[in-house]
């Protein structure tokens, strides 16, 4: 077999880039956890000595970390002063948790998901699922850390106003169920924005519900927010005016059954908002950086989770609008429309 040297070199470069990115991921998590990015953004430009002193860390580690960050384009280096800094754009991605461009938390998701690689490899051989609860505990914290900036930036200002009549209902006082709430970031944000409404956060993962209760208590909204350990097909209550599902519908082993239960628990004129990862309907249109990230995370987390449940219709994280529509309408909803979108999310409005 004759190799095309130019093509081979391109593949080697791709693999080298990915190897570097894999080694880089834990360093992003460390920089986030130790406040290295935040300190650079606030106090930079700094030498490695200066950053170590500001963050009470060891200079020799910090020096090597800074050089790796500069090589990857995450930090800016000035060779004349031997100082490092963050541009406003780098800071938005790495240091500002209020920025919708904040991405540092996503590295924690990938890193913690990879910790059960032997279990996932065995699932590849057997076809069995891997339960949400089988993952490292850091995964659940990382998911909350990575998604909250998106919700904080868009949920109240953009997504809910894009829905028909929902904002008015919530301002007047509605009943809301947040299905698949995780650590409750979305639930608490809505409760803070709409003090006349009451909320129930629902998740099948009991440790996440415990964390959500603490989050609601810290935010001062616990008097209007309850949390329930239950699946999307079994949660209690009825006559909800508004049901939400944030980046979780594709994780469900029976999305049609989940949709049917949501339909049963909504008022006749209620609304279900489904927020999903951005995806096109055709595979070839998802073969890009966003698609690679989403398909990879789906292989590590979402697909195994759905297979661990009924696995009747495993959507995966790149189901696209057509896949979501089919599951929702098969579950009894008559209408589904794309109400809003961002580079990372699609926001759907389902009506009975």
Q: What pLDDT does 312 receive? A: 79
Q: Alpha helix (H) ranges present in 155-200? A: 166-172, 185-193
Q: Quick check: 287 and 341 in contact, CB under 8 A?
A: no
- Which residues on neighbouring strands pair with residue 336, listed in sequence order? 350
- What percentage of the chain reaches a pLDDT higher than 90? 96
**pTM of the predicted model over 0.75:** yes
Identify which of 97, 271, 253, 264 has the alpha carbon closest to the alpha carbon of residue 180: 253
Q: What is the pLDDT of residues 320-330, one digit of tens each?
A: 999 999 999 99
Query: What's the average model confidence in pLDDT over 83-103?
Result: 95
Walk me through the domains of the chain, giving residue ranges and CATH numbers: 5-94 (1.10.10.10), 109-351 (3.40.50.150)
CB atoms within 10 A of CB 289: 7
Q: What is the pLDDT of residues 17-29, one digit of tens each?
A: 999 999 999 999 9
Q: What is the pLDDT of residues 142-198, one digit of tens each?
A: 999 999 999 999 999 999 999 999 999 999 999 999 999 999 999 999 999 999 999
Q: What pLDDT does 310 receive? A: 84
Q: What pLDDT does 289 receive? A: 93
Q: What is the pLDDT of residues 259-313, one digit of tens each?
A: 999 999 999 999 999 999 999 999 999 999 999 999 999 999 999 999 999 877 8
Q: What is the DSSP letter of 46?
A: B
Q: Quick check: 180 and 249 in contact, CB under 8 A?
A: yes
Residues written for the chain: 352
- What percentage of the chain reaches a pLDDT higher than 70? 100
Containing H/E element for 335?
strand 335-341
Cα separation, 268 vs 346, whole angstroms: 24
CB atoms within 10 A of CB 22: 12
Residue 1 has pLDDT above 90, yes or no: no
Cα separation, 30 vs 181, whole angstroms: 27
């Amino acid at each position: 077999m004759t190799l095309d040297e130019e093509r081979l070199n391109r593949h080697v470069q791709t693999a080298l880039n990915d190897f570097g990115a894999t080694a880089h991921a834990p360093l992003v998590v460390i920089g986030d956890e130790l406040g290295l990015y935040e300190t650079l953004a606030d106090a930079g430009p700094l030498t490695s000595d200066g950053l170590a002193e500001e963050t009470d860390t060891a200079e020799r580690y910090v020096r090597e970390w800074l050089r790796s960050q500069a090589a990857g384009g995450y930090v800016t280096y000035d060779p004349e002063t031997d100082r490092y800094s963050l541009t406003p754009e780098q800071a938005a991605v790495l240091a500002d948790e209020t920025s919708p461009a904040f991405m540092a938390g996503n590295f924690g998701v990938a890193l913690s998901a990879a910790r059960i690689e032997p279990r996932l490899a065995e699932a590849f051989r057997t076809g069995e699922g891997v339960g949400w609860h089988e993952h490292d505990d850091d995964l659940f914290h990382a998911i909350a850390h990575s998604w909250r900036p998106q919700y904080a930036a868009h949920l109240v200002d953009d997504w809910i106003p894009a829905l028909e009549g929902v904002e008015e209902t919530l301002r007047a006082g509605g009943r809301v169920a947040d299905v698949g709430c995780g650590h409750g970031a979305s639930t608490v944000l809505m409760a803070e924005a709409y003090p006349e409404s009451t909320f129930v956060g629902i998740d099948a993962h009991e440790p996440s519900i415990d964390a959500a209760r603490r989050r609601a208590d810290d935010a001062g909204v616990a008097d209007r927010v309850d949390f329930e350990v239950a699946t999307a097909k079994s949660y209690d209550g009825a006559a909800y005016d508004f049901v939400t599902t944030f980046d979780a519908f594709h994780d469900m082993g029976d999305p049609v059954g989940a949709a049917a239960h949501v339909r049963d628990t909504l008022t006749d004129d209620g609304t279900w908002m489904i927020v999903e990862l951005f995806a096109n309907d055709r595979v070839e249109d998802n073969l890009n950086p966003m698609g690679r990230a989403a398909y990879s995370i789906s292989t590590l987390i979402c697909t195994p989770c759905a297979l661990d449940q009924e696995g009747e219709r495993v959507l995966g994280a790149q189901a696209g609008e057509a896949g979501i529509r089919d599951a929702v309408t098969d579950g009894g909803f008559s209408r589904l429309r794309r109400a809003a979108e961002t580079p990372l999310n699609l926001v759907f409005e389902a009506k009975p």
